[in-house]
Each structure stands twice: as structure tokens, then as C-alpha cells.
Amino acid sequence: MPRWYLTLFTSDALERFGFYGLQAILVLYASAPVSRGGLGLPVTDAATLFGAWIGFMFMLSIFGGWLGDRLLGNRRALVVGCLVGVAGYLCLAVPAGWAAAVGLPLVAVGSAVYKPNHQAMINLMFGGSRGREAGISLMYIATQVSALAAPLLVGYLGERVSWSLAFLVAALVMLTTAIQLRLGAGQFGEVGHRPVRSLTAGERTTVARRIGLAVAVVVAAVLALGLAGLLSVSMAIGLVGVFSVILPIVCYIVVYRNPGLGALDRRRLRAFLAVFLGSTLFWMIIAHAASLLNLFARDHVDRLVLGMEIPASWLQAATPLFILLLAPLIAVVLPALGGRNHVPVKLAIGLILVGAGFLIMSLATVLASSGEKVSPLWLVIVYLTHACGEVIVAAVIISAAAEVLPPGFMGRTLGLMWLFAGLGGGLGSGVVRLAEVIPEPLYYLGLGGVAAVCGLAFALGRRPLANGLTAGLHTPAPHASGDAVKEGSR
């Protein structure tokens, strides 16, 4: 690995530690009684909170990508994102409801600034497409070490010791990420040091005025709702759900109409809209692991191992463990899937896999309805399908997004990708509430069936979609992708 790759590789692993730790404990922390340091939310609100939070984070990713493209430069944006995340975790460590209300949005903002700019730096440093997907796949798989360690450490500290201590550990790891990026800045040369298309003086004034106005409106609205006694977790979740639907549509149209794009650019972006929507459904289902599946593990799974009851959050480590174990097989098989139609084919496989996992989950809830606790193997199998689908879908979408629009739009393209993922989180925060009125077996059966049918639709429409995605681009021969993976593995 080049030194720059090792720096980005390590920083992503460290930054993801906090994210996966929060994913493992947020719903448990939110539903825990106030007397035990939790937020004391009803179970339904706690379950929807994670979907709303991740939706909010992904919604902001388009602005995080814009900050890197036009204002800060991708490299400086990475450090800024880490420092904002540190502030967020420190707020969460304060045992007070107001601190959580401030901390969760700050963590979301930090991740939203960090993630699209990190992905932009990877794509910019790789330059051409050769080796890019292999490098992203290797990095994505390797960061699962953090995804494996975070639930075990943060989950144990939160459930058995102190929620505050768990968040302090996440803050320390995030601070280490910022320091490591700052020390390794020289390895990137001039890449990402300045914005690709920097704002003019007039544009900076306009942007500052608009941001100030937006912040003032938000603060005024929050104060007004608070004074009127209308501010609540349910309202906040509802607002995030509404904006998570509106914002992707608006931002997609804004990017699509940008005068810097040509006819072929717009054709590729139109084709990629189908990929965006497929990823929305995919991430909506994956997000259930940290909400309903986590609560199912706490309440309905027999977690006794050698006479000791393991924390519910530990089961969240199953997905990254499977990704790590399956990495060699995936590295060999992944490049050969689909040939020139690989993007729709891989997305189809991912959707069918997560759909099958929810069909299995439907059977598990039938067994749990009798009141007896079920074997953890049911959840382990579901997490296995999630792991296989996730490592296939994530790498191919990130890599493909880098070629949709010209380099000056890379941060915004990746921001759009996470914006549509946020749409999945926002929709999920509303869909989860259906579990209150629909029997759980039917709930999982319905979602699993929808995902599987959409996966089949991508498989059947693979050729026209692939033609749209590659309009005006040189498409490498299928064997080149395999060589790149072998080279990246070495």
C-alpha cells in the first residue's frame, strides 16, 4: 500500500469506530431509564430515533461534499469533520437530555462532512478507475475491524458500566483520527489541499448570508416550539422524515441542472437515479439492525453463553465478523460478477440477499411470539445475509459514483449517494412505526418481499441501465477489474 492509502485506511477505521459504537448502543441508550443514565424514551421512539439520526446525517452529506468541493478542500474537510464529531461525543457523555439533543446532531454533522470527503480523497488519489474498486473494497472490508471492536467495547461499557464512559471512548478515538490526518497531510501532495472550484468573493458573501439566515430560522423555530410546549422527540423524528424525502429530490434537481454538466453527464445522472433509489431501499433495511433487530436481541433472544448473559449490542458484531471472514472469497468473486453490467447486477444481488434475511426474520418472530426466547442463530443468519449484501453493494456504488460526473462534482455526487441513503433512514424511521400496528411476521415478510422483487427488477433491467451509466465513458474490459482486485489485494 502507498503511504497515502495507509493514512486514509487508518483514519477511516478509526472514524468508523465511533459510528459503529453509536449504532450498537443508541437504541438501547435511548430506551434505558433515566435512573440508569438513559433518555427514558418509549421503545417505539427509541427504535425510530436511530433511523431519524442516520437519515439526518446522510441528508447533510450533500453539504459536506459541497464544503470540500467549493470551500474547504477535501483534505481540510476531513479534519473539520473529525473535530465536530469529537464535540458531539463529548456532549453525549454529559448525562442530561439537552446534551444528547445537542450531541447527536453534532456527531451527524461531523460524519456528514468527513465521509463524502474521505471517499472523494480515495477516488482523487487513485485517479483512473483501475484499482479504485479494489482499493475501496479492501478499505471497506478492513474498516470492519472497527465495526467488530466497537460493539464489543462500546456496547459493554454502555450496557454494563456507564453510557458516558462509552461516549468518552468514542470521542478519544475520533480525536486520534483528526491528529493522524493532520500529521499525514504531506503524503497527499496538492490533492484535496484546495477546493476544486473555489468560491469567488461574491459567492462566499452570498453563502455566508444564506447560512446565517438558515441557522437563525432553525434556532427561532426550535425556541418557538419549545416555548409553546410542542417540541418533542416524536416531532423531531417526524421533521427529519419529511426533510429526508424533500431534500434528495431538491438536491438532485439542483445538481442535474448545473450548467457545468453536459448532455452525456445528465444522461448518466438520470441512469444513476435508479441506483440511488435501489440503495435507498437497501440501507433502509440494513438500518433495522441497529433498531428493531437490536431490541429483538435484547427482549427475545437467549443470550446466555457459558452461564453468562452477553450484552445485546454484542450481536451487532456479527455482521463485520462475517465480512472479515468472507473477505477472501468476496475479493475473488466480486470482480467477475456482471461483466460490464456489474453495477445493476451487484445491486440486485445485495437487495435479494437482504430481502431473504428479512424473510428469515419473519420466521424468527413467529417462534418468539409464544413468549419463549429464541436461539441467537436466527439473528446470526440474518446478519450473514446483511454482511454479504453490504460488502457487495457499498463498494460498487461508491466506485461507480466517482465516474457519473466530472471530478469537480465528485464530492457532491458522493453526497447525493449518502443523501439517498439518508432517504432510506428517514423512511425507515416512519416504516418502523408500522411494527406497532402490523404483526411482526407480516412486517418482515412485507419488507423482505419488496426488497427481493426490486432486486429481480434490477437483474432483468441490467443491460439498459448499464448502457445509461456508461454513456460517453470508456468501459474497461471485465478482466481488468479482476486484475485490479488481485493487485489491490497484494
Q: Which one has a higher pLDDT value, 396 or 442?
A: 442
Q: What is the C-alpha to C-alpha distance for residues 40 and 307, in angstroms, rounded to an integer? A: 29
Statement: residue 257 has pLDDT above 70: yes
pLDDT score of 17: 92
> pLDDT-derived band of residue 130, with 50, 70 and 90 as boundaries?
low
Q: Which of 111-120, 192-201, 463-472 has the highest mean pLDDT?
A: 111-120
Structure-block grid coordinates of residue 358: 428479512
> In 10 A of CB 2, how many CB atoms?
11
pLDDT score of 468: 86
Q: Which of 55-64, 112-121, 464-473 has the highest mean pLDDT?
A: 112-121
pLDDT score of 482: 38
C-alpha distances in Å from residue 118, one per residue of 57, 94, 212, 421: 15, 29, 27, 17
Please return the burial class of 48, using the count of CB atoms within 10 Å of its CB with bins 0-12, 13-18 and 19+: buried
| pLDDT one-digit tens code per residue, 307-338 | 888 999 999 899 889 888 886 777 677 766 66
| pLDDT one-digit tens code per residue, 399-420 | 787 778 887 777 678 778 878 8
> pLDDT-derived band of residue 475, with 50, 70 and 90 as boundaries?
very low
Q: What is the mean pLDDT of residues 49-68?
A: 82
Statement: residue 81 has pLDDT above 90: yes
Statement: residue 486 has pLDDT above 60: no
> In 10 A of CB 304, how many CB atoms?
11
Chain mean pLDDT for the chain: 84
In the numeric block, the cell 454529559 is attached to 94
pLDDT score of 166: 95
In the numeric block, the cell 421503545 is attached to 43
Least confident residue range of 113-127, 172-186, 369-383, 404-418: 404-418
pLDDT score of 485: 33
In the numeric block, the cell 464535540 is attached to 87
Q: What is the mean pLDDT of residues 145-152?
A: 89
| pLDDT one-digit tens code per residue, 337-359 | 667 788 889 899 999 999 999 99
Statement: residue 101 has pLDDT above 80: yes
pLDDT score of 479: 39
pLDDT score of 353: 94
Look up the pTM and report it.
Answer: 0.77
> pLDDT-derived band of residue 237, with 50, 70 and 90 as boundaries?
confident
In three-state secondary structure terms, 1 is coil
> In 10 A of CB 402, how many CB atoms?
22
Q: What is the mean pLDDT of residues 163-187?
A: 93
Question: 124 Cβ partners below 8 Å, 6+ apart?
Answer: 74, 191, 192, 407, 410
Question: 371 Cβ partners below 8 Å, 6+ apart?
Answer: none
Q: What is the C-alpha to C-alpha distance for residues 111 and 84, in angstroms, rounded to an integer? A: 8
pLDDT score of 365: 94
pLDDT score of 383: 94
